Structure formats: C-alpha cells, structure tokens
Structure 1
C-alpha cells in the first residue's frame, strides 16, 4: 500500500476519537513538522495563532520534554496563559497528548473531546495510531540516482523536455522519475518534493 493510502487509513481511525478536533505534527525538525494534520475549528485555529499559543502551549512543551501519552488534566507542565482553559471555553474540555520518536524528529499530537475524559483503552489506541503515523512518514534516508538527477534538473530550472534531453531519456521517463521522487518523499507536488529533499539533505 502506498504511504499516502496508509496515512489515510490511520487518519480515518483517528477522526472519530477526536470529536472536537486534533492536531498532529509529524517529525518536527528545527521547530517545523515535515507533515501535519489538523481538524480544530477555524475559530480556534485563528484564536490560537493570533495569540502565538504554540510558543507557550504546555502540551507542546510536554511533548518535547518526554515521550508517551498524558491526559490534559494530568499534564505536569505549568499553563500560566491558561491555554487549556481557553481550549475548554472553545468546546475542547478534555484532551490527550501523545509524543513519539527521537527529539531530533519528534511527533506530537493532541486530540480533544467535549463530553468526558479519554479512557485508558482509547489512549492506548490513539498512541498506537500515532506511532503508526510516525513510522509511515519516516523521512527516507536516500533517493535513487535517477530521482536525484530529476530533482536537480528541476532545481536548476530545466523544463521537462530540456531535462529529459539532458539526461538522455524520454519526457515520459523523466516525468516517471519525478513521480517516484514525489512518492518517496510523500510530497504532493514536485516543488514540495524538492523542498523536502533539500531539508533531508538528500540532494
């Protein structure tokens, strides 16, 4: 199964476990996730961004300090800006945070609901699904020579026909190389694939 299809299977299982939304930042490197999924309301997302809560969020601080899972009500990190209280006033009264992976490539997730605390069984299921997402989206350690050549041509500004001529292959073969590079890097576009290849130091 292609990585994108595998991701969708896991996300589909997570959706019903977070009736009031979730945020998943996968493989956070240099403070930026390589991929993220978010279903919080636009109202909360805008409110959160406008107040720069990401810099003060106790869930994020907890996620970078340890791995595992914790209910929001039990998180051992101070919340001087009352971000969790603010979330509750926006309908997200209960939540669970999950942190997975090495500190250099950490995945942090927060799932919420408004009706009750998460059960131990639900937290176990959520943790397992987040670990699966983390593994599925693990950045590749290398690209093939053909994929690197194709991406380098694009980076140098070559159009498909010119790049194919430069490499001595057909234009359709060149496009196939770009498609395989996008799939390997789990990128939607060639530009995104190129950006990720640079970030992962694969070019």
Structure 2
C-alpha cells in the first residue's frame, strides 16, 4: 500500500486482502450527516468497487438516507457486520429494501469499518460479498488495513489541495508545460508571455513546492497528483 499512487491501486490492495474473507467489493467515503445534493454526495465518495448498476440505482433513488448501514454509522464507532446493522434498524421496510436489492448484485453480507477523521467527520470503508460472513472470522486485519488506507488517501488529497491552492494559475500553467518537456522559451511562446516571466513563475512554483530544481518541482507535482 505504501507504493500505491491512486485510489484504484489502494482498492486493489484492499480487495486482495478482503478476498480471503469472501468479499468481492468495497465502498468507502465520508459519511453524510444531512440530506445534500447528489453532486455533493458523490464528492464524498473515496473508493468504489461495488457493481456499477447497484451504485447507479442506490444514487438515483436516494437510498443513502434509507440505508440501515448508514443509519448504524451515526451512532456506532466500532466495526460491525451488515447483519448487525440490519438487525439494529427499526425501519424493517428499509431493511427489506436495501438488503434485498443489494443481494440482487451479489452483495448479501459485509463488514464496515468506521473511521473518525481529524476534522471531526466520520468516514467508513464497507466490504461486501455474496456469502454469509462466518461468526468466527477474525477481521482485525481488515480494521487495520482499512484505517491505514483511508488515512493515507485522505492525507494525499489534503497534500494535493494544499499544494494546488498555493500555486497561481500562471505558475501552474508553466509547471504543466515544463512537465510536458517544454523549455522556458517554448512555454513562453505557448502562453504568450516572455521567457523571463516563465522563469519567474517556475522559480515561484519551485519555492512553493519546496523543490531544489525545476526537475524536482515537476517530480513533486507528479507525486502529489498536481500533475498527472
């Protein structure tokens, strides 16, 4: 997981581990605490390897605030199984709806790891699969892996946001073209500014990224996903 660079690579690591418990999919993000526009809810999703058709239906029909698993997360901070979440829900109609429709897509049982973030929100990673989870299963390894993966990914996002917000539009443009292998002269021609101005912007970007050279600045920007 230390070598991962994208959310998809983290998902691969987690699913490789979770497969030993019969899980075939995972879903994770920041838990919404109030009704919100669909775009905002989607922006809270960090990992998604559940069947696309199920995610589309779940999103389109607004199941998030009817889902017994989400409701259980509002008052439970210890890891729990989907079965435990379903059993604790007093709205049995919602249980039948969500449990039944999820099962149509091979998601009959699962396991949820709640994680408190440093800014006071609740995140979670939910593993799901087609079988029933054995009562004797020791899932502590998933607790650790999920917490580590989510923390690493959130740190990466925060780093990218901090770095990208510090750069001006022109500094980002110059760094982008430098990353494409363009010289300062070529970048000046592309952007319609002087070569000395390009040099100034590159030096400013380098300082903000804590880099010792232009190449180091480009490498730092790629590593933090500022450049892709």
Common fold, TM-score beyond 0.5?
Answer: yes
Q: Relative to structure 1, is the Cα distance of residues 126 and 92 closer, same or farther in structure 2, using a 3 angstrom cutoff?
A: same
Q: Take 2:22 and 2:156, find their aligned partners in 1: how far apart are those partners? A: 30
Please report how far the alpha carbon of residue 133 of structure 1 lies from its aligned counterpart in structure 2 after TM superposition.
Answer: 1.0
Find 2:142's aligned residue among 123, 126, 132: 126
Alignment check: 8 A CA contact 1:69 1:123 kept? no
State the secondary structure of the residue aligned to 1:67: coil
The aligned residue for residue 177 of structure 1 is: 217
Are the structure 2 counterparts of residues 97 and 177 from structure 1 closer, same or farther at C-alpha, using a change threshold of 3 Å?
Answer: same
Structure 2 Cα separation of the partners of residues 139 and 151 of structure 1: 17
Q: How does 1:17-166 map to 2 (within 5 A)?
A: 17=21, 19-25=23-29, 36-75=46-85, 76-79=88-91, 80-81=93-94, 82-102=97-117, 104-139=120-155, 148=163, 151-154=166-169, 158-160=173-175, 161=187, 164-166=198-200
Q: CA RMSD in A?
A: 4.1
- Partners of 2:170 and 2:22 in 1: CA distance: 40
8 Å CA contact 1:17, 1:111 repeated in 2: no
Q: Which runs of 5+ in 1 are unaligned?
A: 192-203
**TM-score, reference length from structure 2:** 0.61
Structure showing greater Rg: 2
Distance 1:51 1:66, change over 3 A: same
Secondary structure of the corresponding residue to residue 155 of structure 2 = coil
| Structure of higher RCO (CA pairs closer than 8 Å, 6+ residues apart) | 1
- Measured against aligned partners, the alpha-carbon deviations of 1:52-84 in whole angstroms (never above 9, x if no partner) come to 112322212322433121111111234443212
> 1:130, CA displacement in angstroms?
0.7
CA contact (8 A) 1:92 1:112 kept: yes
Paired residues in the alignment total 186
List runs of 5+ in structure 2 lacking aligned partners: 34-39, 176-186, 189-196, 207-212
TM-score (norm 1): 0.67
- Give the secondary-structure state (helix, strand or coil) at the position aligned to 1:24: strand
SS at match of 2:132: coil
